[in-house]
Amino acid sequence: MNESPKHVYSAIVAAAVLLSIFTAVLAYIITVEASYSSDWKETRNFNLTVDTCDEAKSKAENDFERGLVRMYFSSGVLEEHQNGFPYNFYNRLESEYNIEVIYTGDVGNSLHKCYNLMMDDLLDEKLGKHTIEDLFNKLRDEEYVQ
Protein backbone atom coordinates (compact mmCIF):
# COMPACT_ATOMS: atom_id res chain seq x y z
CA MET A 1 0.00 0.00 0.00
CA ASN A 2 1.84 3.01 -1.32
CA GLU A 3 0.69 6.27 0.14
CA SER A 4 1.29 9.49 -1.66
CA PRO A 5 3.73 11.97 -0.15
CA LYS A 6 0.80 14.35 0.39
CA HIS A 7 -0.98 11.84 2.66
CA VAL A 8 2.20 11.07 4.59
CA TYR A 9 2.88 14.77 5.06
CA SER A 10 -0.72 15.34 6.28
CA ALA A 11 -0.39 12.50 8.79
CA ILE A 12 2.90 13.93 10.11
CA VAL A 13 1.39 17.41 10.44
CA ALA A 14 -1.68 16.02 12.25
CA ALA A 15 0.54 14.04 14.64
CA ALA A 16 2.71 17.11 15.29
CA VAL A 17 -0.37 19.26 16.00
CA LEU A 18 -1.78 16.66 18.41
CA LEU A 19 1.58 16.35 20.15
CA SER A 20 1.79 20.14 20.46
CA ILE A 21 -1.70 20.35 21.94
CA PHE A 22 -0.95 17.53 24.39
CA THR A 23 2.32 19.22 25.42
CA ALA A 24 0.59 22.58 25.92
CA VAL A 25 -2.17 21.03 28.07
CA LEU A 26 0.35 19.10 30.15
CA ALA A 27 2.49 22.21 30.67
CA TYR A 28 -0.61 24.17 31.71
CA ILE A 29 -1.63 21.53 34.26
CA ILE A 30 1.87 21.38 35.73
CA THR A 31 2.14 25.18 35.88
CA VAL A 32 -1.29 25.63 37.47
CA GLU A 33 -0.61 22.95 40.09
CA ALA A 34 2.73 24.53 40.97
CA SER A 35 1.14 27.96 41.33
CA TYR A 36 -1.32 26.89 44.04
CA SER A 37 -0.35 27.87 47.55
CA SER A 38 0.72 25.27 50.06
CA ASP A 39 -2.42 26.11 52.07
CA TRP A 40 -4.60 25.29 49.07
CA LYS A 41 -2.79 22.01 48.55
CA GLU A 42 -3.05 21.07 52.24
CA THR A 43 -6.75 21.97 52.31
CA ARG A 44 -7.39 19.90 49.19
CA ASN A 45 -5.50 16.95 50.68
CA PHE A 46 -7.49 17.25 53.92
CA ASN A 47 -10.80 17.43 52.06
CA LEU A 48 -9.93 14.39 49.91
CA THR A 49 -8.82 12.19 52.82
CA VAL A 50 -11.14 13.17 55.69
CA ASP A 51 -14.83 12.27 55.45
CA THR A 52 -16.07 12.28 59.04
CA CYS A 53 -15.56 14.18 62.27
CA ASP A 54 -13.93 11.10 63.83
CA GLU A 55 -11.45 10.95 60.94
CA ALA A 56 -10.69 14.66 61.41
CA LYS A 57 -10.04 14.11 65.11
CA SER A 58 -7.83 11.12 64.36
CA LYS A 59 -5.88 13.19 61.82
CA ALA A 60 -5.36 15.90 64.45
CA GLU A 61 -4.06 13.32 66.93
CA ASN A 62 -1.72 11.80 64.33
CA ASP A 63 -0.46 15.22 63.22
CA PHE A 64 0.16 16.25 66.84
CA GLU A 65 2.07 13.03 67.55
CA ARG A 66 4.25 13.71 64.48
CA GLY A 67 4.93 17.27 65.63
CA LEU A 68 2.63 18.90 63.06
CA VAL A 69 0.73 21.51 65.02
CA ARG A 70 -1.72 23.28 62.74
CA MET A 71 -5.22 24.66 62.60
CA TYR A 72 -7.53 25.34 59.66
CA PHE A 73 -9.37 28.65 59.23
CA SER A 74 -11.42 30.16 56.45
CA SER A 75 -9.69 33.20 55.01
CA GLY A 76 -12.40 35.30 53.38
CA VAL A 77 -12.18 37.94 56.08
CA LEU A 78 -8.43 38.47 55.75
CA GLU A 79 -8.58 40.84 52.81
CA GLU A 80 -10.83 43.21 54.73
CA HIS A 81 -9.34 43.23 58.24
CA GLN A 82 -5.61 42.64 58.09
CA ASN A 83 -5.01 44.93 61.06
CA GLY A 84 -7.54 43.43 63.44
CA PHE A 85 -9.40 40.38 64.55
CA PRO A 86 -9.24 37.56 63.43
CA TYR A 87 -6.04 38.21 61.46
CA ASN A 88 -4.09 39.14 64.59
CA PHE A 89 -5.31 35.95 66.26
CA TYR A 90 -4.02 33.83 63.37
CA ASN A 91 -0.75 35.76 63.29
CA ARG A 92 -0.18 35.27 67.01
CA LEU A 93 -0.93 31.56 66.79
CA GLU A 94 1.92 31.31 64.33
CA SER A 95 4.39 33.69 65.94
CA GLU A 96 3.87 32.94 69.65
CA TYR A 97 2.79 29.30 69.67
CA ASN A 98 4.33 27.93 66.45
CA ILE A 99 0.92 26.74 65.26
CA GLU A 100 0.78 26.55 61.49
CA VAL A 101 -2.35 28.31 60.25
CA ILE A 102 -3.84 26.80 57.09
CA TYR A 103 -6.11 29.23 55.25
CA THR A 104 -8.86 27.18 53.63
CA GLY A 105 -10.54 29.75 51.40
CA ASP A 106 -13.82 31.56 51.82
CA VAL A 107 -15.99 28.64 52.88
CA GLY A 108 -15.61 26.96 56.23
CA ASN A 109 -15.80 23.19 56.66
CA SER A 110 -17.28 21.44 59.68
CA LEU A 111 -14.53 18.82 59.45
CA HIS A 112 -11.92 21.56 59.92
CA LYS A 113 -13.79 22.52 63.08
CA CYS A 114 -13.61 18.91 64.34
CA TYR A 115 -9.87 18.88 63.60
CA ASN A 116 -9.32 22.24 65.31
CA LEU A 117 -11.25 21.28 68.43
CA MET A 118 -9.18 18.11 68.84
CA MET A 119 -5.96 20.01 68.20
CA ASP A 120 -7.07 22.59 70.76
CA ASP A 121 -7.62 19.83 73.34
CA LEU A 122 -4.16 18.43 72.62
CA LEU A 123 -2.65 21.92 72.89
CA ASP A 124 -4.35 22.40 76.28
CA GLU A 125 -2.09 19.63 77.55
CA LYS A 126 1.00 21.27 76.02
CA LEU A 127 0.31 25.01 76.55
CA GLY A 128 -2.07 24.99 79.50
CA LYS A 129 -5.84 24.88 79.73
CA HIS A 130 -7.74 27.31 77.52
CA THR A 131 -4.64 29.14 76.25
CA ILE A 132 -5.91 29.30 72.68
CA GLU A 133 -9.50 30.13 73.70
CA ASP A 134 -8.29 32.85 76.07
CA LEU A 135 -6.20 34.43 73.31
CA PHE A 136 -9.13 34.18 70.89
CA ASN A 137 -11.56 35.78 73.36
CA LYS A 138 -9.12 38.52 74.38
CA LEU A 139 -8.37 39.57 70.81
CA ARG A 140 -11.99 39.23 69.73
CA ASP A 141 -13.13 41.53 72.53
CA GLU A 142 -10.32 44.07 71.97
CA GLU A 143 -10.14 44.15 68.18
CA TYR A 144 -13.41 42.93 66.72
CA VAL A 145 -14.23 44.73 63.48
CA GLN A 146 -17.75 44.62 62.12
Q: What is the pLDDT of residues 22-42, one digit of tens each?
A: 777 766 655 554 445 778 888
Same domain, yes or no: 72 and 139: yes
Q: Is the pTM here over 0.75, yes or no?
A: no
pLDDT band, very low/low/confident/very high, at 77 (cuts 50, 70, 90): low
Which domain covers residue 27, as residue numbers? 1-35
What's the confidence (pLDDT) of residue 139? Answer: 86
Same domain, yes or no: 120 and 81: yes
Which percentage of the chain shows pLDDT scores above 70? 83
Rounded Cα–Cα distance for residues 137 and 141 (Å):
6
Q: Which residue has the higher pLDDT, 58 or 7?
A: 58
Rounded Cα–Cα distance for residues 56 and 87 (Å):
24
Q: Which residue has the higher pLDDT, 71 or 25?
A: 71
By the 8 A CB rule, do 92 and 135 touch?
yes
- The partner residues of 73 in beta bridges, in order of sequence, read 103
How many residues make up the chain in this entry? 146
The pLDDT mean for the chain works out to: 83
pLDDT band, very low/low/confident/very high, at 61 (cuts 50, 70, 90): very high
- DSSP structure class, residue 72: E
- List Cβ neighbours of 56 (8 Å cut-off, separation of 6 or more): 50, 111, 112, 114, 115, 118
Same domain, yes or no: 10 and 50: no
Alpha carbon separation from 92 to 25, 98, 106, 111 (Å, rounded): 42, 9, 21, 23
What's the confidence (pLDDT) of residue 103? Answer: 87
Q: Which helix (H) or strand (E) holds 71?
A: strand 70-73
Same domain, yes or no: 29 and 54: no
Same domain, yes or no: 46 and 118: yes
Same domain, yes or no: 29 and 51: no
Same domain, yes or no: 47 and 93: yes
Same domain, yes or no: 15 and 59: no
Please tell me the total count of domains within the chain: 2
Same domain, yes or no: 73 and 20: no
Same domain, yes or no: 44 and 85: yes
**Which of 64, 92, 90 is closest to 78 using CA atoms?**
90
